Structure 1
Amino acid sequence: MITTPVSTPTVSRGVRLGYGVGSFCTATVSAVPGLLLLYYMTNFLAVPPWLAGVVVTAPKVWDLIINPLVGRWSDRTVSRMGPRRPWLLAGSLTLPVAFFLVFAGPPLTGVPAALYIGLCFMATATAYALYEVPYKAMPGEMTHDYHERTSLLQWRMVFIGAATAISGVLAPMIATGEGEEGTLGSYRLMGLTIALILLASMLGSFFGTARAPMTGAPEADHGGWREQFAAIKGNRAFLWLTVMACLQMLAVSMMLAAAPYFAAYTIGSSKATQTLFAALVGPMLLTMPLWVWLARRFDKRGAMILAALLFGGGTAAAMATPLFGPLYAHLTILLVGIGIAGVELMLFSMLADVVAADAAESGKRRAGVLTGLWTAIESGVSSFGALIFGIILSIGGFVESEPSTPVQQPDSAVTAVLIGQTAVPALIIFLSVLVTLRYRLRPPAGPAPGASG
């Protein structure tokens, strides 16, 4: 058992709520395209699945360039609003517009439709970077306390749960509101609705963090890229955390891309996507206090291992859905939800620990560079989930279509859907457990610097 002194919280409840509401953005922008975009292109715009996978993946590769740049710029920003919040505002004013355009549904099909979606998704990725990178850098600068970071971030996870409900329940409900699979008009309405929610949540976070404390190093790191990357290369905790996050988010992105297909072809109803996500969201909303307690009881690494095992176990168990039916599928997703809740809370809390430890050791403010690089690599790797699933569909002989000309999928395609939703993601998740064993960052032995007792 690992214990650390209990300190008085240094981040007010109002700031915690203000920060947490921004997760409506970070969760929704990842989940809605991950859940619906591949299906939207293959089943509404007649884009071949392999090309649709490329379209979903290519703009995310751009993150490898833009995210570290935004992080570096935010580290060096000097303003009366602090180094991070000006970037939150910039993202708030651009992301909702770009997101809506992705699902605007112009009269295009095939390759022209793929090019249009690719350009709009590239703009979305750029606007998202302006907001997400500074947003993720903030917790490591709000408090020095090892366990308060987990407590602070549980509020974020509650909002992620709510955002997941919007992404997995409301968004598909609107998208499929007209007919069994929906129409271009219903997808357009969904895009507009989600864009308005994004605008409200992002501005809410911008104003809600106005009084956020800044406890990080006051001096920005003005070294060149070579010096900064050399320092990051020597940060083993950061490197292993990044590998861990990449594997876990790759599995998540595969499952998101597969979910509508799993609902339609394995369970037998496109509308099952909504109930599956309801089963996923419930644990994320209800189990946060449990995961905070487990992190204190067994340290964050121990809690992460337990969470990943639950995540992977539920995913593997879903392979038996054709034998046991829809109710069984929902029970396995419930187990997955419990695991994902712990995985995501521990990931963000560990990232905040790495950022704080780097500032303490270096005396420099480079949370933006660390977070930008972490986010870029994680996002770039996880975006391959849709591509991998698209390739699995193509190998299985999946036939693309338009609503006016539905097709009967071959048995091999239905089997490919099941494998892409269960077996492959489960293997990736279990591999992440082995990587977690290499993460070594521990809580300080004494009182946290700067913590009030």
Structure 2
Amino acid sequence: MKKSAYIGWAIGSFTSAALVSAVGLLHLRFMTDSLGLAIALAGMLTVAAKIYDAMTDPLMGYIGDRTRTRFGQFRPYLLGGGLLAGLSMILLFNVPGGLQGDSMWLYVGFTLLLYSTAYTMFRIPYLAIGRAITDDFHARSRLMTFSVYGSSLGSFAATSAAPFLLARLGSDRAGHGHVALVLGIAIALGGIAAFLLLKERHPVEAETKPTGSLGATWAALWSNKPFLCLMGFKLILFSGLAVHITAIPYYTRHVLHVTDTALGTIFAVQTAMMVISQVLWVRMASRFGRRNALVSAGSLCAIAYTVWALIPAGSPFPLIYIACALSGTASGGVFLGLYTVLTDTMDYSRRIQGENRAGMLAGVFVMVEKGTSAFGIFVFSTIMSWTGFVSATGAGAEEQPASVKTGIMVTVSLVPALAAVVSSIIMLRYRLPETAKDEVEPQASTLQPVGVQSN
């Protein structure tokens, strides 16, 4: 496989991770602490956009499965989606100063829908094209490590570099706009690069178009038991993760009372551990099977989230770094496992059910991701509204009630820890019949960490 495929795959992962991480981490707080929107309204707008986003994911996959162009089946969407994603990033955080009242929340709602459309247009084809890069069962694990590297870099840009820059600029409304401009340009360039570097292995004419209706395709997906098990794992785990991620910027500002420099440091440590841990997770998958490695990663998530509850607000360092390191290591295993197992279920669908439904499978995969994100934001914003959160303009309220701080602690630690335990139990039921030997009783294989060649 060409090196350009590895690079393009990493860049594609960077593009989607930078977009979704920046919006997921900063936009809700931007609406409540800089635009002055009530947290219930801000949460409602975000959740509505996420629901729309999730509903369009299978449709995008259905369209992608039936697309045939001279540029490829999925590649054109990488270019169009990447450019639109960059534009939406800029518009989200650059709200015209003259907007007030209804005009402001209408603008916010429109830009959220634009962002959702762009992310779907890019993310679904990107995941679907992964099956077309290589057929080799073990080579995919090596390829997917590049996805983790790319997403780690994208997450670093959005969740570490951006908060560092915000701290320098004052974390106010104007500062968010400047940071979004930088990120938007990077995201657009990433979409262009992914389009140029990623090539589908076979001519699109060689792949027969699926013939079933949308309803028949849904029925076929419901009969794909390994895929459903994977989605159950992701649904529960990512619901908890969404609550955790949404709570963190509020946790650092209103519980720890530290600047956004600390917020950036938290995600820098997590990102570093995601990258470093790839060697460990690839070896675990090779020795114990992908399913078992993914269960181990989910279990480590539960431990990591529990540690967050033990951090003393008065002197959070260095215990907070331990929590970050554990969270990053666990996330590295989760994302590597999810991507590799997803491509396995795509092959299972093609072998057993007779049609290539990579686009629809990717659509449902991301739909679950979007749905859990909406659920997480809904849970967090509802709890904050119940506990009496005080919205503000500029850089946020000086002090929040004690009830709000308690709610933040519950959402940053206890809820995601419980979700991680339940999801790990669900994943124990995963079986891939035609490769059960590889998944449950792995032999010594050629699977090796990135950069290590087999003799």
TM-score by length of 2: 0.91
1:7-26 superposed Cα distances (whole Å, 9 cap, x missing partner):
xxxx3222111112111122
Q: How much does 1:339 deviate? A: 0.2
What displacement does 1:330 show?
Answer: 1.8
Q: In the alignment, which residue of structure 2 is the partner of 1:21?
A: 11
After superposition, give the CA deviation of every residue in 1:160-183 in whole Å (9 maximum; x if it has no partner): 11111111111112233333xx22
Q: 1:348 to 1:217 in 2, by over 3 A?
A: farther
Secondary structure of the residue aligned to 1:326 is coil
- 1:39 positional shift: 0.7
Deviation at 1:212? 4.5
Answer yes or no: is the 8 Å Cα contact 1:250–1:381 preserved in 2. Answer: yes
Take 1:396 and 1:152, find their aligned partners in 2: how far apart are those partners?
45
Q: CA deviation at 1:444?
A: 5.9
Of residues 33, 36, 39 in structure 1, which corresponds to 2:23?
A: 33
State the partner residue of 1:123: 114
Looking at structure 1, the residues matched to 408 and 254 of structure 2 have their Cα atoms a distance apart, in angstroms, of 8
Q: 2:141 aligns to what?
A: 150
CA offset at residue 152 of structure 1?
0.8
For 2:201 and 2:189, how far apart are their aligned partners in 1?
19
2:284 maps to which residue? 294
In structure 2, do the counterparts of structure 1 residues 294 and 98 end up closer, same or farther at CA, with 3 Å as the change threshold?
same
Residue from 356, 369, 375 that aligns with 2:360: 369
Pick aligned residue for 1:101 from 84, 91, 105: 91
| Equivalent AA in structure 2 for residue 154 of structure 1 | T
* 1:10-51 deviation per Cα after TM superposition (whole angstroms, max 9, x unaligned): x32221111121111221122111100111011111111122
Deviation at 1:110, TM superposition (A): 5.4
User: Quick check: 1:190 aligned with 2:185?
Assistant: no
> Which among 30, 44, 64 is matched to residue 74 of structure 1?
64
How many pairs align? 438
297-306 or 407-416, larger mean C-alpha shift: 407-416
The residue aligned with 1:5 is: none
| 2:255 aligned residue | 266
Q: 2:54 aligns with which of 64, 69, 83?
A: 64
Measured against aligned partners, the alpha-carbon deviations of 1:392-425 in whole angstroms (never above 9, x if no partner) come to 1112211111128834211111111111111111
Alpha-carbon distance in 1 for matches of 2:55, 2:180? 27
Query: Pairwise CA RMSD of aligned residues?
Result: 2.3
Please name the residue that 2:393 is paired with. Answer: 402
> Where does residue 238 of structure 1 map in the other structure?
227
* Ranges in structure 2 where 5+ consecutive residues have no aligned partner: 444-454
User: Given the superposition, is the C-alpha separation of residues 397 and 106 from structure 1 closer, same or farther in structure 2, using an over 3 Å criterion?
Assistant: same
CA contact (8 A) 2:40 2:385 kept: yes
Q: 1:398 to 1:234 in 2, by over 3 A?
A: same
Whether contact under 8 Å (2:33, 2:395) holds in the other structure is no
Does the CA-based 8 Å contact 1:288-1:341 persist in structure 2?
yes
Is the CA contact 1:174–1:189 (under 8 Å) kept in the aligned structure 2?
no
What displacement does 1:248 show? 2.0
Q: Distance in 1 between matches of 2:408 and 2:200?
A: 47
**In structure 2, C-alpha distance between the alignment counterparts of 1:263 and 1:133, rounded to whole Å:** 33
TM-score by length of 1: 0.91
- Residue 415 of structure 1 corresponds to which residue in structure 2? 406
Distance 1:236 1:153, change over 3 A: same
The alignment status of 1:171 with 2:155, answered yes or no, reads no
Q: Which runs of 5+ in 1 are unaligned?
A: 1-10, 448-452
**Could you say if the C-alpha distance between residues 431 and 445 of structure 1 is closer, same or farther in structure 2, counting changes exceeding 3 Å?**
closer
